Amino acid sequence: MTDLGAGGLGRSARFWLARLQNWRPQSGPDAPALGLRDPWPGDPSRGARLIKGELEVGGTVLALKAGVFHAASATGAMLAHVHGFIWLRDLRALGTDAARARARALVLDFIETPMLDQAALSPDIIGARLAAWLGHYDFFAASADDEFRQALMSRLVMDARRLSAALPSEMLDARALTALKGLAAASVAMPEHAAYLPRVLKFLGPELARQIAPDGSHGERSPAACLGLLQDLTETRALLQAAQISPPPELVSAIDKTAGAVRALRHGDGGLALFNGSKEDLPSLIDLVLAQAGRARGTIADLSGCGLYRLAAGKALVMMDAGVPALPGLDRLAHAGTLSFEFSWAKERIIVNCGAAPTSGGPWRDALRGTSAHSTLSIADVSSSEIMQSGLGRRPRVVNAERQEAGNAAWVEANHDGWGQLFGAIHHRRIGLFATGEELQGEDLIEAAQPQPFNIRFHLHPNISASLQQDQGAVILRTASGVGFRLRAEGAEIRVEESVYLGHAAPRRAEQIVLAGHQDGPQHVKWSITKI
């Protein structure tokens, strides 16, 4: 017999009680007692696609046909988006009668779908759905007929009961806070269920303490997850304020710290750095989230505590992932990008990672998570962490990193043992940005008993052109605005090859500079990127 433990037994008892309550004939309230408003903008172009029967998120398109809520072929991230009804924002942004009718039809289809996919009943997805339905009620439900509104409110009551019974969430990552936000929304909008709110507050403080580090970084080590977390936290604070409850100090502090972390993870163009499942995201959205957070402008956290290092000088910015990969249970978005870096000048990205396709299935998603899709060194075309569907398998066990100020430059010196089990190899990397920002120096070294074949990749943003000089001793890089840089290297052959960029929804052609090292050649490469 399986030992569920006290927490598991309690959760199971609450779950079955909720099911018994939901089996009884019931009717929900006629309408939410307190109107809520989803605070985030939608995309009217995606709303128009929804009218045509296509749901697009992150570059992946799902056909909205009969049985869409049983779309077994969709990835977990896509199912979460479908069943969480976040896309109601896009229909609201479109704002037409056809958009309103489409929203009602899809909500009713969901309510009437028997034996929903298990993903629809996950606490975080129920939480997202409760917040979305209540936050868009005025748009799609307020003017609907009585039968639709009664079906909607009854389902809201059922989902709130189920979610309350499922707490505390077994999920270790930011999705646990999405679940709490949804239950807070149900409690605030439906006062007859106000008893759920103390339950939210009971779990909120410990969850924040467990997930958010003193420097504001999050355990998933993902800029995208950090931004989504900040959105959930600001919404939760607004819900408590709407209920005339003072937000607990732990929540206020968490919002302040996370806002500083989000600021630290932006390039000069305002978008996010592309580490661990992140895309650029719209700078306007990030500005809005930070404005909602209310943290003083210009406050930027030092994220070295979680291994995300930031070097800034002049118009140059370097961000480097020199930390241990996210732990099991927090690694759903993790990439094998240890010691990768990105480099931008003013508002133009130059050296990038390739991005992410979290909602895509098959080779795209896994290829973008591999080491070769990152601006770092790879040995024998093997990733430094083993890519698995649900996270990472083999991974670096030890990552050492130190930031130093030496002379007129700031340096990050780091190493990791990601290939230790396979090749007995340790990768050492040292990157320094000089005070003017016009020179970036680096070196990569493989420490191993047996020499290894390797490649050092510098993926270029699609707006960067690269020209290999005739002597093949350097590459000239040119930004869209005409700023030039020269990349030189010692100890490896320089090549310019094709690459791909998924920092936005659609893939874009790009180039990469590859420093190719051979097993019988030097295992130490020095390189520099200098403004010309």
Contact criterion met (CB below 8 Å) for 75 and 62: no
Question: What pLDDT score was predicted for residue 222?
Answer: 96
Question: What pLDDT score was predicted for residue 4?
Answer: 41
CB atoms within 10 A of CB 210: 10
Question: What pLDDT score was predicted for residue 26?
Answer: 55
Question: What pLDDT score was predicted for residue 441?
Answer: 98
Kindly state whether residue 239 falls inside one of the protein's structural domains: no
Q: Which residues contact 473 (CB under 8 A, 6 or more apart)?
A: 488, 494
Contact criterion met (CB below 8 Å) for 387 and 336: yes
Structural element, H or E, at residue 162:
helix 146-166
Question: What pLDDT score was predicted for residue 295?
Answer: 66
Kindly state whether residue 478 falls inside one of the protein's structural domains: yes
Q: What's the domain count of the chain?
A: 1
Q: What is the CATH number of the domain that holds 403?
A: 2.70.98.70
User: How far are the Cα atoms of 123, 207, 326 from residue 173, in angstroms, in the given order?
Assistant: 12, 9, 10
Kindly state whether residue 406 falls inside one of the protein's structural domains: yes
Distance, CA of 221 to CA of 233 (rounded, Å): 17
CB atoms within 10 A of CB 20: 10
Query: CA quadruple 365, 367, 368, 371: dihedral positive or negative?
Result: positive
Distance, CA of 34 to CA of 189 (rounded, Å): 5
Which letter, b or e, does each residue of 474-489 get, where b requires 16 or more Cβ atoms within 10 Å of its Cβ? bbebbbeeebebebeb
CB atoms within 10 A of CB 513: 25
* Distance between start and end Cα atoms, the chain: 70
Contact criterion met (CB below 8 Å) for 490 and 527: yes
Q: Helix, strand, or coil here: 476?
A: strand
Q: Which residues contact 493 (CB under 8 A, 6 or more apart)?
A: 472, 515, 516, 517
Question: What pLDDT score was predicted for residue 401?
Answer: 97
Kindly state whether residue 402 falls inside one of the protein's structural domains: yes
| Distance from chain centroid for Cα 508 | 20
- The strand pairing partners of 318, in sequence order, are 311, 343
Contact criterion met (CB below 8 Å) for 422 and 450: no
Contact criterion met (CB below 8 Å) for 187 and 196: yes
Rounded to 10 degrees, the C-alpha dihedral 87/88/91/93 comes to -90
Distance, CA of 503 to CA of 132 (rounded, Å): 26
Q: At what angle do helices 249-264 and 196-211 cross, to 10 degrees?
A: 40
Question: What pLDDT score was predicted for residue 13?
Answer: 47
Domain extent at residue 455: 307-531
Per-position pLDDT tens, the chain of length 532: 334 444 554 545 444 444 445 444 455 688 999 999 999 999 999 999 999 999 988 888 888 877 778 766 678 888 899 999 999 999 999 999 999 999 999 999 999 988 777 888 999 999 999 999 999 999 999 999 999 999 999 999 999 999 999 998 888 899 999 999 999 999 999 988 889 999 999 999 999 999 999 999 999 999 999 999 999 999 999 999 999 999 999 999 999 999 999 999 999 999 999 999 999 988 999 999 999 999 666 678 889 889 999 999 999 999 999 999 999 999 999 999 999 999 999 999 999 999 999 888 767 889 999 999 999 999 999 999 999 988 999 999 999 999 999 889 999 999 999 999 999 999 999 999 999 999 999 999 999 999 999 999 999 999 999 999 988 889 999 999 999 999 999 999 999 999 999 999 889 999 999 999 988 888 999 999 999 9
CA angle 245, 142, 54 (to 5 degrees): 105
Kindly state whether residue 176 falls inside one of the protein's structural domains: no
Distance, CA of 80 to CA of 84 (rounded, Å): 6
Q: At what angle do helices 223-242 and 196-211 cross, to 10 degrees?
A: 150
Q: At what angle do helices 123-135 and 175-189 cross, to 10 degrees?
A: 40
Distance, CA of 376 to CA of 50 (rounded, Å): 39
Distance, CA of 130 to CA of 400 (rounded, Å): 43
Q: Nearest to residue 157, comparing CAs of 124, 195, 119?
A: 195
